[in-house]
Structure 1
């Protein structure tokens, strides 16, 4: 496989809660002021990413995977996932609250949807003053049947809310109730799955005056409570990878670059995804260089041995499966 930093065309998703920051802050080519998500790398059926640069320009993510197998994703990943790309990579702009929701784990998703579950993480890139997220039930011992009775009057009695700060990171395992609140701009890393069970949607209506469906039976069945903290330490040390999340589905590090820096990937049996969340940097692999700006994402194939970075001050989320 030809090795270079691969960029993909963003897939922009209109959302009832979306805003304009994907365009105004991250320079996406949005055509409305309700663009909620930019899918940077996606193997979700119906939303397959296309290569935007270099030798493979115009090819699909699926084509790269089918043609280059373990050289593209790593031997262990190809054995585990075959021709399905295992991660969905997004930037997200919430002008208003997302629904309070939960996602199934692998077992439930396979049984009911023939799909993977959805474990995810968020990195808070920016936020409006007093912006909040919802994480879990306020009473961790509550019966999940309580989800059937959520209203605008009791939503914050039922669910735990937290204020966010720029640079915060959160790990959301499948089965954890959550919602990103109004005013949050975030990077999201997740399993390849687009299954969401809505618990409460703030009684809002779409342009046709219709409320979106809730999925209360599935939510009650999927919801579990977790006692470990969702918020993860996210300390960016200069010119080194600092781990934020390590789970069965992905590893995410924060990588801050403020000089010329060489990083070896020779011992890693995985593709590497680099999401630029601050500044800009050049990334060189196999003598091929891409400038990566805030809000852009590149993928380094699994047969990458080393990458060379240069920046005055840039920050990446470095994602792979280990």
Structure 2
């Protein structure tokens, strides 16, 4: 059976209602849904939320089925050899109308042992933040397992959390083991490993949408916390019409493109696919005979088999992500 040629792919966003969600995904990023949508999963290979193509001849097909059909032509030779038909990254937009729970994620080793899953390394790029909005990133004092356990027992977790004010354009890298939370009033793009494993250690004594307190994972978290981990904001120089590196790690490389004119992309053969998240303006992706426009809050995947394409725009900020 002959498969259709690959082209720039968009996927149907999966909107997730959350007790802490708001209306910014709808009001600012033009997503559907009501006022309690907290997350828009843009491209996902997570079991239970596997993305389906929204455009063109492959419309309706799951990303995992596409990888099985097209293999390295979709994701790139190195990526396919390493991950097989698993799509290794998850792309989201998140709207925190209220504070998220204080949480952390296990590393690959622990996640494999306990959950037969990837760990969760992630990064955030802030699209918009209300006045005085903040992130929780690590602890405000030196702790170890014993002192932390005492604070946990006394229900005083908020007293030892380090928080930072944020603004649009800031970026943060969240390693496994770092205690963190997105604060109320923050809208961000999240790039992470394909994993939905979260250890919640404090939830502001807040009931969920059914009026129940959400489960905490205090025991699981104890072996996963990195007590000395910090996450200062990523420092970068914002330049126009060139790739600005935000973060390079074993799981993803993220560039920011602040474009005021057309931008040509030339890929090597069998290189990783590239994903673009539009955080401002709009951009048209022209590859072969296909032209697809993405607006603020939209995401697109350029298959590895497309070696040359042009991003046409007069005003756009896009995050460009690939798998190293």
Structure 1 counterpart of 2:93:
91
1: CA distance between counterparts of 2:183 and 2:105?
Answer: 17
Question: 1:147 touches 1:216 (CA, 8 Å); kept in 2?
Answer: no
2: CA distance between counterparts of 1:53 and 1:198?
Answer: 37
Q: Which structure 2 residues correspond to residues 220-231 of structure 1 after superposition, within 5 A? A: 220-226=222-228, 229-231=231-233
Structure 1 counterpart of 2:138:
136
Q: Which structure 2 residues correspond to residues 36-115 of structure 1 after superposition, within 5 A? A: 36-115=38-117
| Aligned alpha-carbon RMSD (Å) | 1.8
Q: Find the residue that maps to 2:119 and give its secondary structure.
A: coil
**Pick from 20, 29, 32: which aligns with 1:29?**
32
Structure 2 counterpart of 1:168:
170
For residues 166-215 of structure 1, what are the alpha-carbon distances to aligned partners after superposition, in whole Å with 9 as ceiling and x for unaligned? 10000001111100000000000000000000010000012432100100
How many residues align? The count is 321
Deviation at 1:313, TM superposition (A): 1.1
Question: 2:46 touches 2:195 (CA, 8 Å); kept in 1?
Answer: yes
1: CA distance between counterparts of 2:141 and 2:270?
Answer: 41
> Structure 1 residues 126-135 or 136-145, which shifts more?
136-145
2: CA distance between counterparts of 1:4 and 1:196?
Answer: 34
Deviation at 1:150, TM superposition (A): 4.1
Structure 2 counterpart of 1:258:
260
Go from structure 1 to structure 2 and tell me whether the alpha carbon gap of 1:263 and 1:226 turns closer, same or farther (over 3 Å shift).
Answer: farther
> Which consecutive residues of structure 1, in runs of 5 or more, have no partner in the other structure?
none
Q: Which structure 2 residues correspond to residues 129-208 of structure 1 after superposition, within 5 A? A: 129-143=131-145, 146=148, 149-150=151-152, 154-208=156-210
Question: 1:3 touches 1:285 (CA, 8 Å); kept in 2?
Answer: no
2: CA distance between counterparts of 1:52 and 1:6?
Answer: 8
Deviation at 1:156, TM superposition (A): 4.0
Go from structure 1 to structure 2 and tell me whether the alpha carbon gap of 1:268 and 1:224 turns closer, same or farther (over 3 Å shift).
Answer: farther
Deviation at 1:116, TM superposition (A): 0.4
Structure 1 counterpart of 2:128:
126
Go from structure 1 to structure 2 and tell me whether the alpha carbon gap of 1:148 and 1:75 turns closer, same or farther (over 3 Å shift).
Answer: farther
Go from structure 1 to structure 2 and tell me whether the alpha carbon gap of 1:47 and 1:184 turns closer, same or farther (over 3 Å shift).
Answer: same
1: CA distance between counterparts of 2:155 and 2:117?
Answer: 35
Deviation at 1:228, TM superposition (A): 5.9
1: CA distance between counterparts of 2:121 and 2:213?
Answer: 26
Structure 1 counterpart of 2:290:
288
> Which consecutive residues of structure 2, in runs of 5 or more, have no partner in the other structure?
none
TM-score normalized with structure 1 length: 0.95
Deviation at 1:265, TM superposition (A): 1.6
Structure 1 counterpart of 2:9:
6
1: CA distance between counterparts of 2:110 and 2:229?
Answer: 21
Question: 2:122 touches 2:175 (CA, 8 Å); kept in 1?
Answer: yes
Structure 1 counterpart of 2:220:
218
Deviation at 1:239, TM superposition (A): 1.5
Question: 1:152 touches 1:202 (CA, 8 Å); kept in 2?
Answer: no
Question: 2:129 touches 2:168 (CA, 8 Å); kept in 1?
Answer: yes
- Is the aligned partner of 1:17 residue 2:56? no
TM-score normalized with structure 2 length: 0.95
2: CA distance between counterparts of 1:13 and 1:311?
Answer: 31
Question: 1:20 touches 1:34 (CA, 8 Å); kept in 2?
Answer: yes
Q: Find the residue that maps to 2:207 and give its secondary structure.
A: coil
Q: Find the residue that maps to 2:286 and give its secondary structure.
A: strand
